[in-house]
Amino acid sequence: MKSQIAEEYVQVDALDWAPFPEALSKGGIRWKLMHVSPEMGVWTAFFDCPAGSSFNAHTHQGPGEYLLTKGRMDVRGGKANGGDTAVAPGYGYESAGARHDQTAFPVDSEFYMSFLGPLVFISADGSPLAVVGWKEVQGAWQAFLDSKPAVKRAA
Amino acid sequence: MKSQIAEEYVQVDALDWAPFPEALSKGGIRWKLMHVSPEMGVWTAFFDCPAGSSFNAHTHQGPGEYLLTKGRMDVRGGKANGGDTAVAPGYGYESAGARHDQTAFPVDSEFYMSFLGPLVFISADGSPLAVVGWKEVQGAWQAFLDSKPAVKRAA
Amino acid sequence: MKSQIAEEYVQVDALDWAPFPEALSKGGIRWKLMHVSPEMGVWTAFFDCPAGSSFNAHTHQGPGEYLLTKGRMDVRGGKANGGDTAVAPGYGYESAGARHDQTAFPVDSEFYMSFLGPLVFISADGSPLAVVGWKEVQGAWQAFLDSKPAVKRAA
Amino acid sequence: MKSQIAEEYVQVDALDWAPFPEALSKGGIRWKLMHVSPEMGVWTAFFDCPAGSSFNAHTHQGPGEYLLTKGRMDVRGGKANGGDTAVAPGYGYESAGARHDQTAFPVDSEFYMSFLGPLVFISADGSPLAVVGWKEVQGAWQAFLDSKPAVKRAA
């Protein structure tokens, strides 16, 4: 018999920020991991995005829901270019198959997002460079925790 | 050929609060709908929970993720009774099959939550009273909007 | 760190058939459990449906995919009534929110189906009678296995 | 208001087989598309695998469930190498994050499989070569239908 999955609780402000890989972003983005769901492939994180930062081009292989809790986020080029410009507090739904050539933060911003399935970071011609799913983010988060002995994941 | 699902954006603070049904809660809980996903059965909402309010007993038929943005929330009896007590900013994962006999708010609180599948509100013996999934919340939200001509869902 | 979920294999023809509850069906339907996914709430089973059998009225709270491997299945009243009539080998997709007042088998039939989320069996006025999700089917299957000492789940 | 997703029915034996890309497989594998779910990123297909055929190395980014309806399939090296050897009728669950360096068919075989999220075909060092999700399979299937005027998808 399989057991019900354990519930989880994370005290968000008790976690340190980890640097988000520079190969996948610009301008000093940082993140904290909230949760991974190995069975479904869901992963959930907070992102801290300084003014002028951005994520490199990627596709969403499953749906994602975000809550912008601070600042402003230009998605799919921002509203001026046919995309969306979120202003906190703003909620957005990004669909499976969405291609985001640049997600940019004109002011200091923070958002929470839950992803089903991986992000695939891509080159200019659309070919895959890196797959970032529950396994990769869990591994990266653990490496960050291991690198800072004083950091503890909230119980 | 099926199309990619459209992206969505909701300006959270531009929406009014709707009363949450008194048959399912106590103490004046209000809510706003962010999103429904008819294919998967996902639905996402914000809840405003005054001090002393609570949700009636229910089960989660799929996983749910919440972000407590204000106040305090006692889940599964709260920490003192073997459950969790979330303090803003707090993140929690509630698993498929979780039974919540009471979810209570000792102080004015607010949380965001995304649900996969329905909540089933239950009687004391566990028998189902009401199924609340994407269809029911969409219908209830639309009825609220229709009841207030001046209220408009944010574009 | 959470581990990748274990892979599973079931030798379908090595499992015995369990009687499907008479409170939820008519005509001697039997079933075998293939898999449950506690995190997502998926469950997957085979059903053996004699000529003249049927399932009682229910709703699908999430999407379901079936493969009719033998016989004929009238879904949503069958083709003659605006629904579908599957003839083996037939594939079907039933969507979240679908209400099936009767699913009937005019000839001896067999189908495989994977469900996301529970079925809710309902009374004539639509009120919920029983919720059948991953937990309930796993429990029922285990009870069947426990009742027959000679029956073993295939390794 | 969003509508319930339409139900679907496919007469499996009325569809022709399309060649599966030779860049991703060996030995003449063919396939037919049953269904894509753009919102969740689910896709479901049948595969016809001649004796001696195999799929190239890939990872499963989400869970997959298969039903082997004919023949034999060696997954993750087959039972002799610590993986599974399915024999029809066999059911299997492959988990999110599974890496399949070779999936091979020693005899003429056929299987049905439903995937959540994409397959990522990989090179020997694990770097991504091609992402195959709902969008790509729908596009490939449509291209096949367009290439054969006499072929019609079953109503």
Read off the pLDDT of residues B2-28 as tens digits, 9 standing for 90 and up: 999 999 999 999 999 999 999 999 999
Q: Are the Cβ atoms of B2 and D38 closer than 8 angstroms?
A: yes
Give the residue extent of every domain in chain D: 12-147
Which residues of chain D does B2 touch, with a Cβ-Cβ cutoff of 8 Å? 36, 38, 138
User: In the numeric block, which tokens belong to residue A94?
Assistant: 């990004």
Mean residue pLDDT of chain C comes to: 94
Read off the pLDDT band of A120 (50, 70, 90). Answer: very high
Q: Closest Cα partner for B153 from B10, B8, B7?
A: B10
Measured between CB atoms, does C37 come within 8 Å of chain A? yes
Touching check for D112 and chain C: CB below 8 Å?
A: yes
Average pLDDT over residues A57-64: 97
**Residue D41 forms contact with A (CB below 8 Å):** yes
Using CB atoms, which residue from B39, B62, B133 is nearest to C40? B62
pLDDT at B152 over 70: no
* A67 backbone dihedrals φ, ψ, rounded to 5°: -130, 115
How high is the pLDDT of residue B47? 98
Q: A41–D116: do the CB atoms touch at under 8 Å? A: yes
Per-residue pLDDT of chain D (155 residues; tens, 9 = 90+): 999 999 999 999 999 999 999 999 999 999 999 999 999 999 999 999 999 999 999 999 999 999 999 999 999 889 999 899 999 999 999 999 999 998 999 999 999 999 999 999 999 999 999 999 999 999 999 999 999 865 454 44
CA distance A51 to chain D (A): 32
Q: Is D90 on the interface with C (CB under 8 A)?
A: yes
Q: What is the mean pLDDT of chain D?
A: 94
Q: What is the per-residue pLDDT for C152?
A: 52
pLDDT one-digit tens code per residue, D142-152:
999 999 865 45
Of C40, C135, C139, the CB nearest to A39: C40
- pLDDT tens for B26-48 read 999 999 999 999 999 999 999 99
pLDDT at A155: 43
Residue B62 to residue C62, Cβ atoms within 8 A: yes
User: ω into residue A118 within 30 of 0, thus cis?
Assistant: no
Note whether A4 contacts C: Cβ–Cβ < 8 A: yes
Substitution target from B119, B131, B132, B134 for chain C, most C beta carbons within 10 A = B131
- DSSP-derived secondary structure for chain B: -PPPPPPEEEEGGGSPPEEPPTTSEES--EEEEEEEETTTTEEEEEEEE-TTEEEPSEEESS-EEEEEEESEEEETT-GGGTSEEEESSEEEEE-TT-EES-EEESS-EEEEEEEES-EEEE-TTS-EEEEE-HHHHHHHHHHHHHH-TT-----
Tell me, yes or no, if B138 comes closer than 8 A to chain D by beta carbon. yes
Distance of alpha carbon B95 from alpha carbon B83, whole angstroms: 13
Share of chain C above pLDDT 90, in %: 90
Neighbours of chain A (3+ CB pairs under 8 A): B, C, D
Q: What is the mean pLDDT of residues C70-92?
A: 94
Count of residues in chain C? 155
Supply angle C-alpha B148, B150, B153, rounded to 5.
85
- Chains in touch with C (3+ beta-carbon pairs under 8 Å) read A, B, D
Residue A152 has pLDDT above 60, yes or no: no
Q: Is A76 on the interface with B (CB under 8 A)?
A: yes
Task: Give the distance from residue A112's alpha carbon to the nearest chain B alpha carbon, in angstroms.
Answer: 9
Per-residue pLDDT, D150: 56
**Stated pTM of the model:** 0.94
Longest dimension (CA), chain D: 54
**D22 Cβ contact partners less than 8 Å away, ≥ 6 residues apart:** none
Q: Is D6's Cβ below 8 Å from some Cβ in B?
A: no
C104 CA: distance to closest CA in chain A (Å):
31
| Sequence-separated (6 or more) residues with CB below 8 Å from residue D57 | D99, D100, D101, D102, D121, D122, D123, D124
Q: What is the mean pLDDT of residues A54-58?
A: 97
Q: What is the third-level CATH fold of C12-147?
A: Jelly Rolls (2.60.120)
Q: How far is CA C85 from the centre of its chain?
A: 17
- Chain A residues with CB under 8 Å of C40 CB are 39-40
Neighboring chains of D (3 or more beta-carbon pairs < 8 A): A, B, C
Are the CB atoms for D7 and C92 separated by under 8 Å?
Answer: yes
**C39 close contact with D: CB closer than 8 A:** no
Is the pLDDT assigned to residue C103 strictly greater than 60?
yes
Q: How far is B85 from chain C (nearest CA, A)?
A: 22
Tokens of B129: 């009273």
Size of interface A-B (CB pairs under 8 A): 102
What whole-number distance in Å separates Cα of residue D2 and Cα of residue B37?
8
| Strand ranges across the sheet with C84-87 | C25-26, C53-55, C103-105, C72-75, C84-87
Q: Over 80: is that where the pLDDT of C150 sits?
A: no
Among chain C residues, CA nearest to B61: C117
Torsion region of B117: left, alpha or beta (phi above 0 gives left; psi -120 to 50 gives alpha)? left
